[in-house]
Amino acid sequence: MNLNDFYTGRSFTDYNYLGAKISASGTVFRTYAPNAVKVSVIGEFNDWQDTPMTKIENGQFYECYISNAVEGMMYKYRIYHTETDFVDHCDPYGYGMELRPHNASIIRDLSKFKFDDKKWLENRTDCHGMPLNIYEVHLGSWKNNPENPNGWYTYSEIADLLIPYVKENGYNYIEFMPLSEHPCDESWGYQNTGFFSPTSRYGTALELMELVNKCHKNNIGVIMDFVPVHFAVDGYGLANYDGTPIYEYPNNDITHSEWGSLNFIHSRGEVRSFLQSAANFWLDVFHFDGLRMDAISRIIYWQGDSDRGVNDIAVQFLREMNRGLKELHPTAILCAEDSTNYLMITKPYSEGGLAFDYKWDMGWMNDTLDYFRQYPWIRPQEYHKLTFSMMYFYNEHFILPLSHDEVVHGKATIAQKMNGDYDNKFPQARAMYMYMYAHPGKKLNFMGNEFAQLREWDEKREQDWDILKYPTHDSFHKFIKDLNKLYLKEKALWKWDDDPRGFEWIDCHQEEKCIYVMKRKCPEQKIVAVFNFNGMEQKSFEINSGKNIKYKFLIASDMQKYGGKNEYKRKIFNSDKNGIIKLNLAPFSAVYFEEVSSKKTR
């Protein structure tokens, strides 16, 4: 290992040197503990008794070779703060860990799995100018395994259930909430102890590789949540690893995050190398297609508070990490979950940006959901909550997220957020989703949203699949399937997402009627989307389309097969001599048309 790179925060491959490395005749253990008095390895191979490690390199690293330490055996590092006082830690660079509440690391040989996804990787893109429709999944609560006391499927078992479902429903990417090891189910994986260890809840590292490989064989990309901000406080993890705060801040006022976890100190080069190596590990070794980085605002600003100022060193860490990851994996997708107005999140490194590919548009999400919570007669006052996003949209490259964070902690599910009684929620949710899919930006939808789940998400329970026996939910599910597949097919909905030429407001000044008309464009196609978010029918609503224009019907939210009342037997709509097309718009409805010339439709 290049020590200069390690200490200056330029390393991306620490995992090739540190941790438990299997050889033909045993295992070599290496760990970084610069302030330890001494370090030993304990494990199944020595009856959990001390095997002293030797100082190597510059004296801040420890190593030992154990001939009878083989794959599958558990181990820990016993790190002495004095000659007699010690704490047993899991391996920061370990490839496997015990199921909670146990915490030993496990020797793993990751070379045993052979990927055969070369074709996918060669053709993979970062989805700029391409469709990106993400299905966000918490692997432990998507579906429960009745044969497992904990209810979990293994990575390999769930592959055969999840992949066909994702394809059938019109998604082309899966985003998994964090799969690195974590002690507390309720943290959902966002407070890690094993940054290089796939959680043992769902099986082994090789089984996770199998899941990713199967996704690729089915043309499904895989993104994983990655947490470079903070880590779990558990004493067996990174906290006070060598008896001193290596990975966390020593200052009490910034040591702990708002979640009670410990903040990484990004000013230390070895911490930057640790996080960069962990990020690269999932892309390189496991073939993940991207990382969604959580809580980036807490890196940009001290404690996430803009009043405390920008954390310049941490921002520079993000820039350098993303630059390095994109050099190593040019087609990998790097996403920032950031709710701040900090600029240049998705600008390239060469232009002074943070070099993310996409930023979650939290402003769009909040404004949209706030709008649909309102009574219809209040919406005229809130009308421009749905137009405001296009005032800033081209500042960044955005993903429009309706994620797990929006369906927990008393916030209600997406369908429940819609104003009104049960029957009125569904047409509004359908119309809202059509607004989302016509709006520029890539798409993300959390599991359960696709069939209008009404119970908030709980990590201990599977999704309410039984709800699909009710016609209203089944129809909603059919609608989302069709909308997803239409999005993947129609180029105007994604090709010019990041190009101002790809979007046009045809009418965004119908405040009293709550009607919006937008056009999505690319060289090959134009699509017009019309929305009536009023509870009243709008008859003969006029759209100035231009002369000799025909609209070809694509999809409507109020079709009978989706639970609405209209059939839309008429498939072509012609402009009159004044260039006007008149439409009858049902309450809480949306409709898409493809704009075609008279010549094209003959």
Give the residue numbers annotated as catalytic, written as ranges. 294, 337
DSSP 559: B
C-alpha to C-alpha distance for 192 and 181, rounded to whole angstroms:
6
Specify the amino acid at residue 204.
T
CB 547 within 8 A of CB 577: yes
Q: Which of these, 410, 452, 409, 457, lies nearest to 432 by C-alpha position?
A: 452
DSSP 29: E
The DSSP line for 73-97 is -EEEEEEESSSS-EEEE--TT-S-B
Reduced 3-state DSSP string for 51-64: EECEEECCCCEEEE
Report the sign of the C-alpha dihedral through residues 117, 120, 123, 126, in that order.
Answer: negative
Tokens read off for 247: 């990975």
User: Torsion over CA of 344, 346, 349 and 354, rounded to 10 degrees?
Assistant: 70
Q: Which of these, 175, 167, 163, lies nearest to 134 by C-alpha position?
A: 175
CB 414 within 8 A of CB 545: no
Specify the amino acid at residue 348.
P
C-alpha to C-alpha distance for 335 and 145, rounded to whole angstroms:
31
In angstroms, how far is CA 82 from the centroid of its own chain?
43
Q: How far is CA 246 from CA 83, 300, 342, 565, in A?
A: 20, 21, 29, 63
C-alpha to C-alpha distance for 424 and 587, rounded to whole angstroms:
10
